[in-house]
Every structure is written in structure tokens, then in C-alpha cells.
């Protein structure tokens, strides 16, 4: 009615925010909201974080809330798990999740299993977060995706954001959750700006763990991805739409618990499925999605076998041309969609 009268309505105040700043906002808001929350890890305090995620937080909250640790993942992860058992809410940063292998006993045997083994009397409200998967030019020991590893383990929740809104909302939900949560970020997304809605700018904004998001509706094929490959899927969908193929892109957001219902509903509509991930193919996230679809009601709606697009089944090479060929690219997704649709 106001538009008919010629009045100008102000658009929602969406702004551009990088994933780095979204994570920083979430940490700042949760440190302010709950005095039990604290951040620890290598270089997180005085250096403002190896990736500047914790920029300004040490100066604002001090040594007791933002804690620099020695280079000893097993040690500081054990301290964090013990603190969580004692009633605090630690955020434990790994400089890369490849280094979390040094602390795998603390993450799995101590954090993930304690609630079950204590019949619910010991909760471990802790967040393990940091960059996961391939970066650029850092070779095999810094480029592994751990989504399938941690998604395999009962007792953990595992989230994997793509956009700035994902990063902020999922980190806030993870910190508030009473279970151990593994948050797998992408170093290559830290500096990427995304539109953040007015709602997401609120201190009360959270994204429920275990709920996927349809980033782009479509009718011909379902593309399911998490983290950085979601952006590749969006690009591939734009390319394919020019050829008359409309892709439905699902941003999984959570690896465990997996929102298979959203994927099933999409497959029922499109009759085709392509999964995309940066991790290795064997026992991967895409393999789990395909198995769950095969075992469920959506299988009868598939008009062709599901197709997986994954990283190459090799340790990450150092040379850039080999690295590029080891990670799913937009052209690989386009090829997989055409294979699924037999075009």
C-alpha cells in the first residue's frame, strides 16, 4: 500500500561481512554474554590469532578469557576438556585441523565419550574449531578434510560453515551447546565477503545445528555440499542454468547430525543427486549421503545413479597445477551433473 502511494520503503539493512569478521563477532558476543566462555590455542591472544579470527579479543577480555598456549595440542586440548567437565565452556582453536591429530585421544576418548560413559552425568560443552581441508600451497600435511573422520564418531556434533551467516550462527550455537562440537572452517573463505542480513547482525542470531539450507532452488538435479564447495556448486549452477539445467543447491552446514530429510525432499523433486566435497572419496561425506538416500524412501525417485565429486584419492600435492587437479573445480561439478542427467 505504501509503495502504491509512492512512498519509498527502505530495504533491509544487509551488509557485506567476511567470514573472518563473522567468526570474530560470534566469539566477541559469546565471551561477553557468558563469563564461562573462554578461548585458548596457539597465538590466539597477543598475536590476535594466526588468521586474525580473535583480533582484539585479548585486549578486551584479558589473559583469563583469551589464552595463548604452548605448541602442544595434546596438552592444551586436555586442559580445555577438563575445564569443560568442570563447568566452563572452552573454545579450543587448532591452527589447522591437521594438528588436531596430536589431540585425537582428548577429542574422541575424553570429550566425545564422557557423556555416554557417565550415563549423562558429565557433559562436555566444548568447541574445537579452526581451518580444515585444503588451503593453498601448503601440501599434504596441512590440507586434509576431517569432516568424515569426526562425523564418524558418536558423541560429537560436527558443523561446516560456508557463508558469513553460517560461520556466525553456527559458532554461537556450538558455544551454547552442551555437547562437544567440532567446527570445520575453510582458511580460503576467511577473507571472502558475504551478504549478512539484518537478522544475522543481531546478538541473538543462531543457526540450529543439524539443519541444512537450500541456497538455490532447482528442479533438475540436487547438488549437496558443505564448506567451500558450496560456492563451487553455486557457480556450476549458474553455468548450467544457461544450458537449461536448473540445479537445487543444498548447503549441508552440519555433518553430524546430518539433515538427510532436506536432501531426501530435494531428490524426490529433482530425481537426481550429485554430492560435492573437498575430502577423499573412500568413506567420505558424499558416500554417507548416497548410502542414506539408497536406504531411504527417496531412492525410488532417483532416475539415475547418484554421482560423487570429491578430492583426488592422494595426499595433497604441493605444485599448484597438481593441487588444482586434486580439488573439485566448477568444471568437475558441471561434468558430474551432465553425467547424472545423461546429457
Condensed to tens digits (0 to 9), the pLDDT of residues 252-301 reads: 999 999 999 999 999 999 999 999 999 999 999 999 999 999 999 999 99
Is residue 3 predicted with pLDDT exceeding 60? Answer: no
Question: What is the pLDDT, as a whole number, of residue 1?
Answer: 44
Mean pLDDT score, 187-206: 95
Question: What is the pLDDT, as a whole number, of residue 188?
Answer: 96
Is residue 159 predicted with pLDDT exceeding 70? Answer: yes
Q: At what angle do helices 164-176 and 19-33 cross, to 10 degrees?
A: 30
- 15 forms beta bridges with 196
Among candidate residues 29, 30, 93, 142, the one labeled active-site is 142
Instruction: CATH 3.40.50.970 in the chain: give the residue spans.
Output: 16-196
Mean pLDDT score, 227-238: 98
* Length reported for the chain: 343
Q: Which three cell numbers stand for residue 107?
A: 577429542
Instruction: CATH 3.40.50.920 in the chain: give the residue spans.
Output: 213-341
**pLDDT > 90: percent of the chain:** 94
Q: At what angle do helices 330-341 and 229-241 cross, to 10 degrees?
A: 60
Per CATH, domain 16-196 is 1.20.120.80: no
Is residue 6 predicted with pLDDT exceeding 80? Answer: no
Catalytic site residue 142? Answer: yes
Q: How confident is the model at residue 10 (pLDDT cuts 50, 70, 90)?
A: low
- 196 forms beta bridges with 15
Residue 71 has a CB neighbour count (10 Å cut-off) of: 11
Lowest mean pLDDT of 6-20, 32-46, 234-248, name the range: 6-20
Average pLDDT, the chain: 95
Q: How confident is the model at residue 13 (pLDDT cuts 50, 70, 90)?
A: confident
Q: Strand, helix or coil at 275? A: strand
pTM over 0.75: yes
Among candidate residues 42, 73, 93, 187, the one labeled active-site is 73
For residue 168, give the nearest of 2, 328, 21, 10 by alpha carbon.
21
Mean pLDDT score, 332-339: 97
CATH assignment of 213-341?
A: 3.40.50.920
Catalytic site residue 246? Answer: no
Question: What is the pLDDT, as a whole number, of residue 4?
Answer: 44
Condensed to tens digits (0 to 9), the pLDDT of residues 32-82 reads: 999 999 999 999 999 999 999 999 999 999 999 999 999 999 999 999 999
Amino acid at each position: 500500500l505504501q509503495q502504491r502511494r509512492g512512498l519509498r520503503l527502505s530495504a533491509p539493512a544487509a551488509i557485506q561481512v567476511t567470514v573472518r569478521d563473522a567468526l570474530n563477532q560470534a566469539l566477541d558476543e559469546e565471551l561477553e554474554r557468558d563469563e564461562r566462555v573462554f578461548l585458548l590455542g596457539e597465538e590466539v591472544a597477543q598475536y590476535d590469532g594466526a588468521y586474525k579470527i580473535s583480533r582484539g579479543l585479548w585486549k578486551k577480555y584479558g589473559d583469563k578469557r583469551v589464552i595463548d598456549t604452548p605448541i602442544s595440542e595434546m596438552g592444551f586440548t586436555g586442559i580445555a576438556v577438563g575445564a569443560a567437565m568442570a563447568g566452563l565452556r572452552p573454545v579450543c582453536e587448532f591452527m589447522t585441523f591437521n594438528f588436531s591429530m596430536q589431540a585425537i585421544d582428548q577429542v574422541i576418548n575424553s570429550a566425545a565419550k564422557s557423556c555416554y560413559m557417565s550415563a549423562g552425568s558429565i557433559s562436555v560443552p566444548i568447541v574445537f574449531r579452526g581451518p580444515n581441508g585444503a588451503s593453498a600451497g601448503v601440501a599434504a600435511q596441512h590440507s586434509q578434510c576431517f569432516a568424515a573422520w569426526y562425523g564418524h564418531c558418536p558423541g560429537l556434533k560436527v558443523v561446516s560453515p560456508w557463508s558469513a551467516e553460517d560461520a556466525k550462527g553456527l559458532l554461537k550455537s556450538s558455544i551454547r551447546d552442551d555437547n562437544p562440537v567440532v567446527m570445520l572452517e575453510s582458511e580460503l573463505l576467511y577473507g571472502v565477503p558475504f551478504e549478512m542480513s539484518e537478522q544475522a547482525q543481531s546478538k541473538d542470531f543462531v543457526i540450529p545445528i543439524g539443519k541444512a539450507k537450500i541456497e538455490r532452488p532447482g528442479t533438475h538435479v540436487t547438488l549437496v555440499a558443505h564448506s567451500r564447495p558450496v560456492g563451487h556448486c553455486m557457480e556450476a549452477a549458474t553455468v548450467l542454468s544457461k544450458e537449461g539445467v536448473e540445479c537445487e543447491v543444498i548447503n549441508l552446514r552440519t555433518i553430524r547430525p546430518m539433515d538427510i530429510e532436506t536432501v531426501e525432499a530435494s531428490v524426490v523433486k529433482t530425481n537426481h543427486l550429485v554430492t560435492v566435497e573437498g575430502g577423499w572419496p573412500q568413506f567420505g561425506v558424499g558416500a554417507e549421503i548416497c548410502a542414506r538416500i539408497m536406504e531411504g524412501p527417496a531412492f525410488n525417485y532417483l532416475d539415475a545413479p547418484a554421482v560423487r565429486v570429491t578430492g583426488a584419492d592422494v595426499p595433497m600435492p604441493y605444485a599448484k597445477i597438481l593441487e588444482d587437479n586434486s580439488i573439485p573445480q566448477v568444471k568437475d561439478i558441471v561434468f558430474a551433473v551432465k553425467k547424472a542427467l545423461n546429457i
